[in-house]
Amino acid sequence: MNRRTYLFLGVAALLLLPAVAMLFTDEVRWSPFDFVVAAVMLGGTAFVSDLIWGRLRNRRTRLIALAVVLFLLVLVWGELAVGLFGTPWAGN
């Protein structure tokens, strides 16, 4: 299997975590829309990361670009989850 296959299998595995947790506890309550948003965010991040990995040859530049992409994912996820910045899309 190639890098892209592992990357998207990792996205699927991350999406399975809350699905499995919902079977065992009431603390995790995701709606279908939550799964769609997570899939778009994680899939988009995986896609952009794969593009960066394939196109940038300089190791340092590649690592910086990947770090920026992951940092943006964490910021957006945090805003959607708990409202870090208080935008209209903030979670509860």
**Interatomic CA distance for residues 33 and 73, integer angstroms:** 18
Which residues, other chains included, contact 19 with Cβ-Cβ below 8 Å and sequence gap of 6+?
A: 30, 35
Domain containing 29: what range? 3-82
Q: How many domains are there within the chain?
A: 1
Q: Does residue 66 fall inside a structural domain?
A: yes
- For 47-89, the pLDDT digits (tens) are 999 999 999 999 999 999 999 999 999 999 999 988 888 888 8
- For 14-40, the pLDDT digits (tens) are 999 999 999 999 999 999 999 999 999
Q: At what angle do helices 32-55 and 59-82 cross, to 10 degrees?
A: 170
Q: Does residue 91 fall inside a structural domain?
A: no
CA distances from 62 to 11, 18, 36, 48, 54 (A): 20, 30, 28, 12, 9
Q: Does residue 70 fall inside a structural domain?
A: yes
